[in-house]
Structure 1
Amino acid sequence: MTALDKNSLVAVIGGGAMGAGIAQVALQAGHPVALFDNRAGGAQQAVQGIVHQLERQVEKAKMTESFFDDCLSRLHSVESLGQLAHAGLIIEAIVENIDVKRTVFQDLEDICEPTCILASNTSSLSITALAASLKRPERLVGMHFFNPAPLMALVEVISGLATDESVAECIHATAIAWRKKPVRARSTPGFIVNRVARPFYAESFRLVQEQVSDPATLDALMRDAGGFRMGAFELTDLIGHDVNYAVTCSVFDAYYNDTRFQPSLIQKELVDAGRFGRKSGRGFFEYHDGAVKPEPKVLKASGGFDRCVVEGDLGAAHGLVARMGKAGIEVVLRGGSGLLHAGEAVMAMSDGRMACQRAREDGLQNLVLFDLAHDFNQTNRLAITWASNTSEQARADAVALLAQLGIQTSAVADVPGLVVLRTVAMLVNEGAEVVLHGVSSAADVDLAMVAGVNYPIGPLAWADSISPKAIFDCLEHLQASYGEERYRPSLLLRRITQEGRRFHD
């Protein structure tokens, strides 16, 4: 299917930040663009804002004067929906209220030509429900941009039950022509990103609730070890807890209170207190003048090693072996089950069991567990924990070895799956559910999470890189430890593990 012709008028309903951003994207892609807003002067104000953004690009030599003039000639505001009768595509970007949106689309359907595509930028409402009241529901599609639209690459193209396949294909092709990275999804609560991302927040919130560690340390671990741009606490402070909590509650309700999406009492308390984050001056952290952000907790290290023993395959942590070699440490390789010996310490990457459980079940003394990292060749921080019978010297030896490799260690309580591993496992699990239920493909799930929320790698590709079985085992151990359906492994993950294949095979 070909993209929308560049001579076709693109109209945007809603002159807020998102609507103006979408209009700017279409404008810079070469379309004539019309903006409508029902607020007096709202559309004109949005146009002025777009012009200002384009002027800044000219000043930075990112846009030529001639292209700037061309854009101005194609951009205008309108005072009524009736002036959009000849539009080829109309994108609605107004308040997230299904009744208001339905009314707008019903009005547009009576005004526009039959070939006009109607699109909603909704982030959470059902495209099927929005289209149900239309005479021609097949021409309504979801076109969900991410804020700020001119900068964020992802566009979720959402098909409702009645959406014509050719309409969705046209919007997908149009998004590519607009230099975006579109993904296809079926209309289900949260689509891809707002659904798959829920565990990123939920697991960190739970770790604080269980007093595993503090927000600053957990954020640092997710950034430095996990490779994420921000940790859950600083990110939700930025988003606004009122907004983030509302989305979580919406997804939780939409999935009939499935515990995978259960909202956090920790976050609810912040919302109840009016501590919404940056915009209110206080959330998990404080943002008033002179406020100092807490530093992550780090264990002090002393000493070092000339020789270590590695038993078996360290799996995802095999990069540590190369780092030991570069640090001048002699590495003795032996058969075994993935253990690293440094002085008195018996070290292993977490498999989802608590250290106390693994030490007892595997008959290990002085066990120290370390967390998953996105890249063990590069990471400069890891979470560690230990069994209660682990000696003080063994703990010190584990910290000393990692410090010798250039890795700071942050101690956390003995909790199943530690920090990064359990979060990644839950992201993988939700991504697998999206694929299992035919909402989207594995490739689009990964693209959505990288392009939409800047994950270091797509969750399913991450599972492939460390083995789906390792993720499956972690989830089974989490479920056994908590006794909750929240951690049940996806049937697709179970199937892939049993078949010995990967998500992208």
Structure 2
Amino acid sequence: MTPLAKGSIVAVIGSGAMGSGIAQVAAASGHEVRLFDTRPEAASKAIADIGKVYARLVEKGRMGAAEADLARERLQTVDALSGVKDAALVVEAIVENLDVKRALFAELEVIVDARCILATNTSSISVTAIAAGLRHPGRLVGMHFFNPVPLMALVEVISGLATDKDVADTVYATAQAWGKDPVHAKSTPGFIVNRVARPYYAEALRLLQEGTADAPTLDAVMRDCGGFRMGPFELMDLIGHDVNFSVTQSVHAAYFGDPRFTPSVLQQELVNAGFLGRKSGRGFYRYGDDAIQPVVQTEPHAVRPHTVGISVAREVTSSVLSPMEARLTHAGFTVAHREPLQGAEKHEAPAFHTNGVAIFLTDGRSATERAAANNHPNTVVYDLLFDHAKATRIALARADQCSEEAYQAAVGLFQAAGFQVTRLDDVPGMAVMRTVAMLANEAADAVNQGVCSAIAVDIAMQKGVNYPRGPLAWADSVGIAHIVTVLANLGASYGEDRYRVSPLLRRKLAANPFGARFHA
């Protein structure tokens, strides 16, 4: 794959945040840039602002002074579309409207050279549909940047049904030459990121609606336990609920009402109320000088238990509890291994045991359901952790049958291991585990449907939305078998097709029940 030659002209249509960001990166990468906007003053202001950005980069030592001067000299405005006639690449970053984009590219097609690549920065509109009216639809491709363009590494290179492979490969190589991490994807609703990310919001909204915990507590669990940079509620407040809700509606409609993408009534109510998040001063949180600092539910101090044991089933060769066992050992506990359980007893494994309470990593069932199935009332489950060694918080849920004394023993155990303990109401799958399982499930379906590769989906979710780990790499880490179990149990608990297991996950598991992986 060969990128566009340095010095070749890149035209950018639209000088808003996305267009100016693309222009800034292209000029810094050695291209002559022609910036067009229907408002000439907006394009001129964008170039002036880019020059200020370059100056700040020089001050911070991130760009040489001569380099910045040259980059600034490469930026020019044009007063009419005819001014982009010599471009080798035209990137459109205008309003998200199919008819407007089609009209623009139809006009561009008769202006630019036949070899010029036409690219759309659309985040949601079908690339196939945009190209459909062109005489040469093969030269149109999606080049979806993420905001802010200079800082975000991901570029989704989207091929419509008519897009020529050479065109997509050239844009991919050009994005790489610009210092980006591009991924190939097929033009389907949401592409990669906006599709695969839906469960991060959807499961959080459902958890809140079910009274699992309040928004600040769930956000803290997703950050401190799951390793996410922002919790789902603070992220939705940042994005804006009107925008987030609209994207969810769009994806849901585009997939003909698939329940996996069902919008939330709770979020709809926020939009109806005008509580759009930061931009309106109120969303799940209040903003402003008089905003109250949210309080995260944290259990008070409990007594450290003297002993802890671990049980495994005879058929299990390695325990999903091993990372937690290492944390407990580091805290000074001697974890006694019980004889492997078999027969009916094996359903009580793998688990930690202390002071009569059985403590399981959640498998998608509620603690109450698991206690009933095992005939062990004193049952507690804990949520998934991204990094057992560094996590500062752990989330627990207790069975309705569990005694207070037994629950406090579990709290004391984890507090002694250095965790702040947060109690969630006893819902199936808890918070981090069900979210990660659904993200992995959606990522697997995207791969299964030929939207992208397993490597591409993991790069996209890490580079595009800053997830701590790609969803399929996370499935490898947790164990595909455990992810499938969680999803199956969620489906059984809720009785909804929303939690159906991706055929690719089942296929991976069937091929290698004890070591299935997406990445070697």
**Could you tell me the TM-score, scaled by structure 1's length?**
0.98
How far does residue 327 in structure 1 lie from its aligned partner after superposition? Answer: 1.6
Matched, 1:362 2:407: no
**SS class of match (1:156):** strand
How far does residue 306 in structure 1 lie from its aligned partner after superposition? Answer: 3.4
CA distance in 2, matches of 1:376, 1:342: 20
- Counterpart of 1:148 in structure 2 is 148
Return the letter of the residue paired with 2:418: G
CA distance in 2, matches of 1:17, 1:236: 20
Q: Deviations over 1:435-474 (max 9, x none)?
A: 0100000000000000000000000010011111101111
**Size of the alignment, in residue pairs?**
505
CA distance in 2, matches of 1:215, 1:451: 25
- Counterpart of 2:219 in structure 1 is 219
Return the letter of the residue paired with 1:322: A
- Counterpart of 1:83 in structure 2 is 83
Paired residue for 1:427, among 439, 458, 467?
A: 439
CA distance in 1, matches of 2:66, 2:390: 45
Matched, 1:317 2:329: no
Matched, 1:374 2:374: no
1:315–1:27 distance in 2 versus 1, CA, 3 Å: farther
How far does residue 227 in structure 1 lie from its aligned partner after superposition? Answer: 0.5
**Could you tell me the TM-score, scaled by structure 2's length?**
0.96
CA distance in 1, matches of 2:399, 2:64: 63
- Counterpart of 2:344 in structure 1 is none
CA distance in 2, matches of 1:110, 1:371: 58
Please tell me whether the aligned partners of residues 28 and 68 of structure 2 are also in contact (alpha carbons under 8 angstroms).
no
How far does residue 379 in structure 1 lie from its aligned partner after superposition? Answer: 1.3
- Counterpart of 2:497 in structure 1 is 485
Paired residue for 2:332, among 328, 331, 347?
A: 328
Q: Deviations over 1:328-387 (max 9, x none)?
A: 212111224211012232111100011111111122231011011111222111111111
CA distance in 1, matches of 2:297, 2:70: 54
**SS class of match (1:111):** coil
Return the letter of the residue paired with 1:320: M
Matched, 1:57 2:57: yes
**SS class of match (2:110):** helix
Segments of 4+ moved more than 6 angstroms: none
**SS class of match (1:124):** coil
- Counterpart of 1:248 in structure 2 is 248
- Counterpart of 1:444 in structure 2 is 456
Range 118-127 or range 493-502, more displaced: 493-502
Please tell me whether the aligned partners of residues 392 and 419 of structure 2 are also in contact (alpha carbons under 8 angstroms).
yes
CA distance in 2, matches of 1:183, 1:293: 39
Return the letter of the residue paired with 1:360: A
CA distance in 1, matches of 2:114, 2:320: 55
How far does residue 55 in structure 1 lie from its aligned partner after superposition? Answer: 1.1
Return the letter of the residue paired with 2:264: S
Percent identity between the aligned chains? 52
Q: Deviations over 1:188-233 (max 9, x none)?
A: 0000000000000000000111111100000000001000001110
Return the letter of the residue paired with 2:335: V
Please tell me whether the aligned partners of residues 301 and 396 of structure 1 are also in contact (alpha carbons under 8 angstroms).
no
Please tell me whether the aligned partners of residues 3 and 170 of structure 2 are also in contact (alpha carbons under 8 angstroms).
yes
CA distance in 2, matches of 1:41, 1:169: 35
- Counterpart of 2:127 in structure 1 is 127
Root mean square deviation, CA, Å: 1.1
Structure 1 unaligned regions, length at least 5: none
**SS class of match (1:26):** helix
Please tell me whether the aligned partners of residues 6 and 31 of structure 2 are also in contact (alpha carbons under 8 angstroms).
yes
Matched, 1:296 2:308: no
- Counterpart of 1:17 in structure 2 is 17
Return the letter of the residue paired with 1:475: L
CA distance in 1, matches of 2:217, 2:202: 16
- Counterpart of 1:398 in structure 2 is 410
Range 307-316 or range 318-327, more displaced: 307-316
How far does residue 114 in structure 1 lie from its aligned partner after superposition? Answer: 0.4
- Counterpart of 1:468 in structure 2 is 480
Please tell me whether the aligned partners of residues 281 and 287 of structure 1 are also in contact (alpha carbons under 8 angstroms).
yes
Structure 2 unaligned regions, length at least 5: 342-348
Range 312-321 or range 275-284, more displaced: 312-321
